[in-house]
Amino acid sequence: MPSASFYRLPPNLLTAVEQRRAMCRVIAKAWQVVGRVNILCSDEELAQSLDDLLWTYQAGAFTPHGRDPQEPVCLYVGSDATALRPAPALALVGLRTLPKALPEDARLLDFIPPDEASTADARQRYRLLREAGYTMQTYTLEA
């Protein structure tokens, strides 16, 4: 059965960089557990920001990543998941709606920023995934 984990970003992470650092911690943990993670970003600016932060999000931490599908963590831009390489986890970052053709065997990681519009979008994605038969989990990240 497919599964999805939603991570609520706390309101005390006020800047976009702080929120993205929290996302990097989740993505790094997923990589450590499952080995390969795809990250699907809503736009190029967000993908570049995550690409930069995965080098520096935490002192002493490194998550091997890049745009090359051979990397353990691979960044993509867009809303079409059909072009992604096979991986056991897919992080959705900055997307307002679910991408087309979600991989059936990948664990989904989704993030809920504290602003109202993003929260409403995340609720809609949550509902659609639950209706599609996903096992759902929600976590609140600590600052």
Give the model's pLDDT for residue 29: 96
pLDDT at residue 13 greater than cutoff 80: no
Please give the model's pTM, rounded to 2 decimal places.
0.94
Q: How far apart are CA 107 and CA 134, in angstroms?
A: 9
pLDDT tens-digit series, residues 79-95 = 888 889 999 999 999 99
Q: How far apart are CA 78 and CA 80, in angstroms?
A: 6
pLDDT tens-digit series, residues 35-80 = 999 999 999 999 999 999 999 888 888 899 999 999 999 999 998 8
What CA–CA distances, in Å, run from 125 to 3, 71, 118?
A: 13, 28, 11
Give the model's pLDDT for residue 143: 66
3-state secondary structure of 109: strand
pLDDT at residue 28 greater than cutoff 70: yes
Superfamily of structural domain 3-140: DNA polymerase III subunit chi (3.40.50.10110)
